[in-house]
Structures are given as C-alpha cells and as structure tokens.
Amino acid sequence: MPLPAQLDRTIVTGTIMASAIGLPYIVVLSVLGLMGRISGAEVVWWLLAGLILVGAIGSVTSNNVVHAALSLVVAAMGVAGMFLLLASEFLALVQVLVYGGGVAILLLFALMMTNASDDPIVVDGSQKPFGFGVALIMGIVMVSATVGASWDATITTVVSFRDIGTRLYRDYGVPFEVASLVLLVALVGAIAIARRDTEESDAA
C-alpha cells in the first residue's frame, strides 16, 4: 500500500512500535494501579521510567541526528518528572528550562550547522558490538549492585525554594561564584573558538 507523502518510514515504524510497546505498558500499569496492587506514585514512577528509557534508547540508537536530539529532550523531561517525584520541584523546573530550552536548541543548532545534507553522516562506528558488550556488562553490574541493597531510607517532604536558596548562598557561596565564573569562561571561550578569524582569512 503506498503511503501518503508526509508519512515517512520513521514516523510509521515509530508509531507502530510506540503503540505496540507503549499501549500495553500503560494498560498494565493502569490496571495494576486501579486494582490497588501498586500506589499511584508507583504508576507515575513506572510511566516516567518508561519515558526516560524510551528517550534514552532513541537518542543512542536513532540514525537520524535530529531524532536523536529530540529523544534527548524526551528523556530530559522524564528526568524532570523524576525530580518532581523526588520532591525537588526547583530542580525539575531547572531541568525543563536548561534541557528543554537551552541544551536542546544548542544541539539542534549545531546539528543544522554541521550537517550539509549531501554529506553522508557516519553515525555508528565499527566498534558497535564491543561497545554494546561493555555497556551491557556495566549496566548489569550497576543494577545488580543496587537491587539487593537495603537502605534505612524514607522519602523527604518537599524541598522548598527558600531552603535551597538559603543553603546555596549561605553554605555554597564560593562554589556558586566559581560556577558563575565557569559559565562566563565557557561563554567567552565558545565565542572565541567558534567565531571566524577575519584577519587570518584576509591575510590568506
């Protein structure tokens, strides 16, 4: 069956995969939640975890660089949701602003600047199986180390903006200033590195 022109293969396969994996996932979670097997917070947690993992897998496996950058935004928004669940609303807001606003735009901007459309993009190297093995072992080690651990842990109440401000400016004043200096140097450095040297090109 010929597809309409505006539906390219990525969109079709993406939609099919999202419905095949996402819908059962959401249905199972809602049923479990409605039956009272898991709490509402846990339903939200598993939804966010699924969102983060889908975004992360998309951004490291996608062959289209723009899709990879947009998947990173999906993962970052999921992480912001996790921060909300962890009672750090300030961090959730910062995450949305910095990643959704700043980093994503920067990445897309750089992608547009560096990808001439006739330039074939080499996405993955020949070390792919090796890299997959190493990352798999690393993931297994880290997850297995955390699964069995028992902590004397209780979730805190919401960390308020006022407390964060007090702690940041009273106890971490110097690191805060140093961080602003780092940002300034990064800004100046990025401009100095990326700008065209007009004098050199004139001389050449």
Partner 1 sequence: MISLNHYLALSGVLFALGFYGVLVRRSAILILIAVELMLAAVSINFVAFASYLDAKLFTGVIFAIFVITIAAAEVGLALGIVLRIYRERSTANVDEASTLKW
Q: Which of residues 135-194 bind partner 1 (CB under 8 A)?
A: 135-136, 138-139, 142-143, 145-147, 149, 151-157, 159, 163-164, 167-168, 172, 175, 179, 182-183, 185-187, 189-191, 193-194
Backbone angles phi, psi at 57, to 5 degrees: -65, -40
Helix axis angle, 65-85 to 104-114, nearest 10°: 170
- Judged by CB under 8 A, the residue of 7, 102, 161, 173 near partner 1 is 102
Which lies closer to partner 1 via its Cβ, residue 7 or residue 185?
Answer: 185
Q: Classify 116 as helix, strand or coil.
A: coil
Kindly state the helix (H) or strand (E) to which residue 146 belongs, with its residue range: helix 128-147
Q: Which own/partner contact pairs does 92-100 have at CB distance under 8 Å and 24+ positions apart?
A: 99/72, 99/73, 100/73, 100/76
Near partner 1 by CB under 8 A, which window of 3-11, 12-20, 21-29, 109-117? 109-117
- Judged by CB under 8 A, the residue of 26, 32, 74, 86 near partner 1 is 86
Interface with partner 1 (CB under 8 A), residue total 88
DSSP letter for 64, please: S
Which lies closer to partner 1 via its Cβ, residue 29 or residue 107?
Answer: 107
Which lies closer to partner 1 via its Cβ, residue 9 or residue 196?
Answer: 196
To the nearest whole angstrom, how small is the minimum distance from the Cβ of residue 24 to partner 1?
A: 20
Kindly state the helix (H) or strand (E) to which residue 113 belongs, with its residue range: helix 104-114
Q: What is the C-alpha to C-alpha distance for residues 162 and 92, in angstroms, rounded to an integer?
A: 15
- Judged by CB under 8 A, the residue of 14, 68, 74, 100 near partner 1 is 68
201 binds partner 1 (CB under 8 A): no
Q: Which of residues 16-55 bind partner 1 (CB under 8 A)?
A: 39, 41-42, 45, 49, 52-53
Closest CA to 70 of 60, 55, 80: 55
Which lies closer to partner 1 via its Cβ, residue 17 or residue 57?
Answer: 57
> How long is the chain?
204
Which lies closer to partner 1 via its Cβ, residue 19 or residue 130?
Answer: 130
Q: Classify 117 as helix, strand or coil.
A: coil
- Judged by CB under 8 A, the residue of 28, 98, 161, 173 near partner 1 is 98
- Judged by CB under 8 A, the residue of 130, 161, 173, 177 near partner 1 is 130
Q: Please calculate the CA angle 124-129-132 and round it to the nearest 5 degrees.
A: 90
